[in-house]
Structure 1
């Protein structure tokens, strides 16, 4: 696996003015991955991390351009949900990784991406599984220039989605 960019500096910016609901959720997902990484590295707690991101990182000015304003409620749900369900999420990921490779041995950025994606698959039934997979593959591409990480995110989330949300992948669902 390749080295990840620091989660506070993805390769591609999510800059825009007048962002729609989908873009605001995308900004929330990116911020949640960054926050989960920070919590993992620094050991900060949930409430302190949410407060810091809401005060300093969600929609803050950078070099004169405004970042897409994140959907704060969605950001809070992602972060709080991952923390609340982390044991279940980690078990799901561990069981889905091939070759007995445990989640704890993955790059911290990759872990944060997978945890957020699996949380959405489990709890956010209002978001189609294919959208969740696509969003987190894009986030993986933002942090990993080269390498297999986006493919791993795609394969693992797809495998879990087909188990967790079987109905969305049934032949009847395509109609």
Structure 2
């Protein structure tokens, strides 16, 4: 049996953490329960989640702790107030924006790809992922301009 590399495990672990964080943030948005209550519930359900748990908790608390700043950053690139965006799309946008703003070691392309995948899996319409990609791409160009430019130069080389 082939063993997965640490890089693949980290990617899979973070992908799972993002998926769970999306679900937890959706619950937070629609129920008004505290992040701590939601985290406890998810931790009970994810008891076998291993290394996925710390990143899940970081995203959940990072988004809820910085929600005002995240929404302000997103709001510059949305076609309506962030509060009026579909709750699933809003949660996906918040996860992506959190990583773009506060997790600089995660490449912006990885953030966008993960958000697109979440949009395809959970989005309310077949165009959800396109909307998410458009908003987060504009945010990435603003907050990670050097990284985006370097990636563009590398692609042209």
Superposed pair shares fold, TM > 0.5: yes
Give the Cα–Cα distance (whole angstroms) in 1 for the partners of residues 35 and 60 of structure 2: 8
Question: Segments of 4+ in structure 1 off by > 4 A?
Answer: none
Larger RCO, structure (CA 8 Å, separation 6 or more): 1
C-alpha deviation, 1:80, in angstroms? 0.8
Query: Counterpart in 1 of 2:138?
Result: 159
For residues 125 and 66 of structure 2, the distance between their equivalents in structure 1, rounded to whole angstroms, comes to 31
Say yes or no: does 1:81 pair with 2:70. Answer: no
Instruction: Name stretches of at least 5 consecutive residues in structure 1 with no aligned partner.
Output: 1-17, 60-67
Q: What's the CA shift for 1:73? A: 1.0
Once the 2 structures are TM-superposed, how far is the Cα of residue 57 of structure 1 from its aligned partner? 3.6
Taking the aligned partners of 1:156 and 1:58, their CA distance within structure 2 comes to 34
Q: Where does residue 28 of structure 1 map in the other structure?
A: 17
**Distance in 1 of aligned mates of 2:100 and 2:146:** 13
Please tell me whether residue 47 in structure 1 is matched to residue 36 in structure 2: yes
Q: How many residues align?
A: 149
Q: Match of 2:107?
A: 128
Q: Distance in 1 between matches of 2:120 and 2:51?
A: 20
Gapped regions of structure 2 (runs ≥ 5): none
| Aligned mates of 2:51, 2:63 — CA distance in 1 | 18
CA deviation after TM superposition for structure 1 residue 104, in Å: 1.1
Aligned-pair Cα RMSD in Å: 2.1
Which residue in 2 is equivalent to 1:169?
Answer: 148
Match of 1:95 in 2: 76
Aligned 8 A contact 2:89 2:123 in 1: no
What TM-score do the two structures reach when normalised by structure 1? 0.78
Could you tell me which of 74, 77, 95 is aligned with 1:116?
95
Question: Tell me, what secondary structure is at the counterpart of 1:90?
Answer: helix
- Cα contact 1:27–1:70 (8 A) shared by 2: no
Distance 2:53 2:70 in 1: 22
1:148 aligns with: 127
Residue 105 of structure 1: CA displacement? 1.1
1:174 Cα deviation (Å)? 3.6
Deviations 1:115-144 (A, max 9, x none): 111000000011000000000100110013
